[in-house]
Structure 1
Amino acid sequence: MLETGINELSREYESIVEALILSLQSTDSDESKQTLKMIDALRQNIQIMLRLASDVDRNKQPDISAEEVSKIGDYALNLLDEISVSCASRGMQDQMLELHRLSLPVVSWLKVYGGQVKKLDIVVNAIASYANTIQDNKQLELLCELISNVIDVTDIEIKRDLEATNPMRPWRILNLNWGIVATRTHNSEIMQHVFDQLIKNIPADCQQFFNEGMQQMDVVGYPDNVREVMRKYAGGFGVNGVRH
């Protein structure tokens, strides 16, 4: 599912919520009815996203603003989050995780059509779930690219990082996970690029990340090229020798 695109989103979504729908239909409660409405609302929202993609594929100029694109994407992310909560309350942990992961094709859609991510927490949860399970270096590089896309389209208000005192803020966690995934790729160029971005994005937190990363070099047994990059950043210098 790491490479699931917008065209597969509808099919994946229907497969994920199938068991949840059956569970909701077996109980006659206001909560169940509300969740079923949300499931249908997201189904319709996905169709709107697909129609826009189809229009562009057919070289039809979409009559929609970047703000409207952002609202459509934001609605999708909020519904995914709300429906995933219902999964969790019914013990459907796998479905909850898969719904979180569907936030990533929504982000890709927002990037293509000029929107911004305004709800970051569900996206951060999706990325963390992949980071905890992927071991292959090429897949880790792909995950780094996905995180870069998320960074690119994150709303400017989130990027201002005004809640810098909150260590659990999604913006901080996203960037730290980016750094961890970059390190695990063992790719020096990717590490340097990501580390430079961490210095810009979370300046108050990056030095601790580099220091702790250096401590992990022996624990994990990283190769020499990874150690060298981490050593320079932990020492307060980027690879080009410029102090940060």
Structure 2
Amino acid sequence: MIYRMLPPVDIHHISHELARLGEHLQRAYDERPGVLDSGPRFLLDGLGDLLDTLSDTAANTPAESARALHAATGGTPDALLAHGLDLLAQLADQAERLSLPRTASGLERLSLALTCWMLRLGAELDRPEFVVNATAGLANTLHATDDLAGLYALMTEMVEGMSPARIQDSGNFPSRPWRVLLLNRAIVATRSQRPALMVAAFDSLVEHLPEDAPDFFREGMGQMEALQYPAPVRELMQRYYDRWCTGQRLH
């Protein structure tokens, strides 16, 4: 079964879903043990222990949670988030190799819930590659504008929680997570048909990725015509197109 709704940012839900998905993964491994060098049990147990610790140490403020986490594990929220995402990425890879695409997608969605849970506890997102790609995959399954607006809010938490070091990655690589996240958030804002979200996402895009803005708005105008967006959405896209595409050609 594929869950197309947004994953709740709730540590108990994450734990429950991990147990459910882990059963599918372990069963498939038991039936085809030669596919993987080692089974998923070690990864599942490690991630389960991490989730239990996160649940037990959650406090009223990020600072209190960070102190409790450090006392329990010796690690920082940033490092524990990175570790959790790494375990999820390895499990999703195992699911793909065992021909379980739905299980892999479920594990990817958990990365979004775990990331936002940890960001709310004060963590910074320092290893964003897996969750950024997972978020893009989730966006492709959503169609209801309310769901897309909800995903936009979670993506904004990721934007605001990205570590400065990753934002300032040197080079202009098309696949760098910061770029992918900002572009995808602008697409999700457009598909949500919420002009207020579009303005915020578009302004962030032109501030941080001015070299990508003209192509984005040019393609956006093509989508407006092809998909018959409501007039307020089309008018807003036209405004940004005129400024960043037509206007640039006049200089």
Match of 1:48 in 2: 53
CA contact (8 A) 2:15 2:48 kept: yes
Check whether the contact 2:78–2:124 (CA below 8 A) recurs between aligned residues.
Answer: yes
- 1:104 correspondence with 2:78: no
Shift of 1:149: 0.6
Instruction: Spell out the pairing of 1:53-202 with structure 2 (5 A cutoff).
Output: 53=58, 56=59, 61-62=64-65, 63=67, 64=69, 68-164=76-172, 166-202=173-209
Per-residue deviation, residues 5-57 of structure 1 (Å, max 9, x unmatched): 2221110100011021123334556945353211211111111111122xx15
Residues 52, 201 of structure 1: alpha-carbon distance in 2 compared, 3 angstrom cutoff: farther
Match of 1:218 in 2: 225
Name the amino acid aligned to 1:217.
M
Question: Which amino acid is 2:159 matched to?
Answer: I
How far 1:168 sits from its partner (Å)?
2.1
C-alpha separation in 1, matches of 2:208 and 2:53: 33
The percentage of counterpart residues that share the same residue type is 28
Shift of 1:208: 1.2
The answer to whether the Cα contact below 8 Å between 1:13 and 1:99 also exists between their aligned partners in 2 is: yes
Alpha-carbon contact 1:108-1:149 (below 8 Å) kept: yes
Q: Is the 8 A contact 2:96 2:104 kept in 1?
A: yes
Q: One-letter code of the match for 2:211?
A: A
> Equivalents in 2 of 1:10, 1:100: separation in Å?
14
Which consecutive unaligned segments of at least 5 residues does structure 1 have?
238-244
The match for 1:241 is: none
Conservation of the 8 A alpha-carbon contact between 2:25 and 2:40: no
Q: Which residue type is aligned with residue 95 of structure 1?
A: T
Alpha-carbon distance, 1:80 to partner? 0.2
Judged with a 3 Å threshold, the aligned counterparts in structure 2 of structure 1 residues 137 and 96 are, in CA distance, closer, same or farther, namely same
Per mean C-alpha deviation after superposition, the further-off stretch among 95-104 and 114-123 is: 114-123
Contact 2:7 2:109 in 1 (8 A): no
Are 1:25 and 1:32, in contact at CA under 8 Å, matched by a contact in 2? no
Stretches (4+) displaced over 6 A: none
Find the aligned partners of 1:227 and 1:153 in 2 and give their Cα distance: 31
**Aligned letter for 1:216?**
Q
Sort the Cα spacing of 1:187 and 1:50 in 2 relative to 1 into closer, same or farther, 3 A: same
Aligned to 2:248: none
Q: Report the TM-score when normalising by structure 1.
A: 0.87
Alpha-carbon deviation of 1:210? 1.0
Q: Distance in 2 between matches of 1:170 and 1:219?
A: 28
TM-score (norm 2): 0.85
Partner of 1:162: helix, strand, or coil? coil
Structure 2 match to 1:234: 241
CA distance in structure 2 between the partners assigned to 1:221 and 1:235 by the alignment: 19
After TM superposition, the structure 1 = structure 2 runs for residues 26-45 of structure 1, keeping only pairs within 5 Å, are 26=31, 31-33=36-38, 35-45=40-50
Q: Specify the alignment match of 2:16 in structure 1.
A: 11
Is 2:31 the partner of 1:23? no
Alignment partner, residue 203 of structure 1: 210
